[in-house]
Amino acid sequence: MARPLIQSSSVDLHKSSATTRILRTQVRFLEVDKPHLRFLNLPSCNSTPKLKAWKGPMTLTKEVVDEKEMSAVTEHESNEFTTLKHRFLNFKKDKYLKNLEHYQSLADEQSPKFLVISCADSRVCPSNILGFQPGEAFVVRNIANLVPPYETDPSEVKAALEFSVNTLKVENILVIGHSRCGGIRALMSMDDETNSSFIRSWVINGKAARTSTKAVASNLSFDHQCKHCEKESVNCSLMNLLTYPWIKEKVNKGELVIHGGYYDFVDCSFEKWTLEKNSQVDDQVSIKNREFWS
């Protein structure tokens, strides 16, 4: 049976010093080149003959999967993961080992100042565009960067909000929308019939933004309506954040500040604004500190 990679890399972790331990793992990276170590234990659900083959030794794999096809897949995967491997090792050499004390303190605890909620879109990674370094931002990414209101079913966004606000005690929440968002396009183009899909079931959390966009921008082209909704949905998410009692309380006390952002990757600009809540009047909010970076 193939050895699980995770177990093979955890030997003597607690007995050696941090530096020795980190340097030693370089040796273990070489093991990745051994084909048999590429086999991971996949979950048994939805098993097909091909998937079952991946759980077993190489000989069984060869019996089930056409060798030529397997070779092409392996080579393709190898190229992609070789790139990732080199990037990781460069990160380790150029950043981790050069700032070892910092990364070791991060290994003990994190205290990020930001919770960032952004889209899962591959073009809008917040660490990439805003330069967040490890330990600086707790990040949640989902389709269309939506925050559901408090009174809805449990979701990973809610768990992340609870943990980052109540345990990590982040000081800022930043919701980032973006240009040409496929999730917002799905929201704007869905019909009112109840044809179910996972995407529809999720993006419907932004229904208020869709409704208000249709109300004020129905004379615009569909593309422009989507662009309007991309920003409107950020504001709806900011308002939804205030439906969480513990967020509202911290905002009223000045312990937590809520911000909106919009990244346009067509012209590479970033718009940022901050929600100001009137602590005396419950539902009164305004926008302040709007900035446009280009």
Site for Zn ion in 250-279 (CB under 5 A): none
For residue 149, the minimal CB distance to Zn ion (Å) is 20
Size of the site for Zn ion (CB under 5 A): 4
CB contact at 8 A, 263 and 179 = yes
Are the C-beta atoms of residues 285 and 242 closer than 8 Å to each other? yes
Q: Is the dihedral of CA 112, 116, 122, 123 positive or negative?
A: negative
Q: Which is nearer to Zn ion, 183 or 260 (CB)?
A: 183
Residue 132 or 262 with smaller CB distance to Zn ion: 262
* Least distance (Å) between residue 182 CB and Zn ion: 6
Question: Does residue number 119 form part of the binding site for Zn ion (CB under 5 A)?
Answer: yes
Does 102 show up as a binding residue in the annotation? no
Asked whether residue 268 is marked as a ligand-binding residue, the answer is no
Residue 147 binds Zn ion, judged by CB under 5 A: no
How many whole angstroms separate alpha carbon 39 and alpha carbon 44? Answer: 14
Least distance from C-beta 152 to Zn ion, angstroms? 20
Q: Nearest approach, Cβ of 225 to Zn ion (angstroms)?
A: 15
Which tokens is 252 given?
A: 């009223």
Give the helix ranges, DSSP H, for 146-206: 156-162, 182-189, 198-203
Residue type, 49: P
**List of residues 6+ apart from 206 with CB closer than 8 A:** 144, 146, 183, 184, 187, 229, 233, 236, 237
Cα dihedral across residues 87, 176, 262, 210: positive or negative: positive
Among the listed ranges 83-91, 114-122, 168-176, 249-257, the one in contact with Zn ion (CB under 5 A) is 114-122
Which of 213, 163, 159, 162 is closest to 189 using CA atoms? Answer: 213
- Neighbouring C-beta atoms of residue 145, cutoff 10 Å: 29
Which residues sit opposite 263 in a β-bridge? 178, 270
Q: What is the DSSP letter of 163?
A: I
Q: How far is the CB of 154 from Zn ion (least distance, A)?
A: 23
Q: Does 234 bind Zn ion (CB under 5 A)?
A: no
Contact stretch for Zn ion (CB under 5 A) within 27-35, 83-91, 113-121, 161-169? 113-121
Amino acid, single-letter form, for residue 73? V
Smallest separation (angstroms) from Zn ion to the CB of 118: 8
Using DSSP, state whether 119 is helix, strand or coil. Answer: strand
Candidates 126, 183, 206, 260: give the one binding Zn ion (CB under 5 A).
183
CA of residue 19 relative to chain centroid, distance = 30
The reply, when asked if residue 226 is annotated as ligand binding, is no
The stretch among 21-29, 116-124, 218-226, 265-273 that binds Zn ion (CB under 5 A) is 116-124
125 annotated ligand-binding residue: no
Interface residue with Zn ion, options 39, 115, 121, 237 (CB under 5 A): 121
Single out the residue of 181, 186, 247, 275 in contact with Zn ion (rule: CB under 5 A).
Answer: 181
**What minimum distance in Å lies between the beta carbon of 142 and Zn ion?**
9
The residues binding Zn ion (CB under 5 A) are: 119, 121, 181, 183
| Residue ranges at the known binding site for Zn(2+) | 119, 121, 178, 181
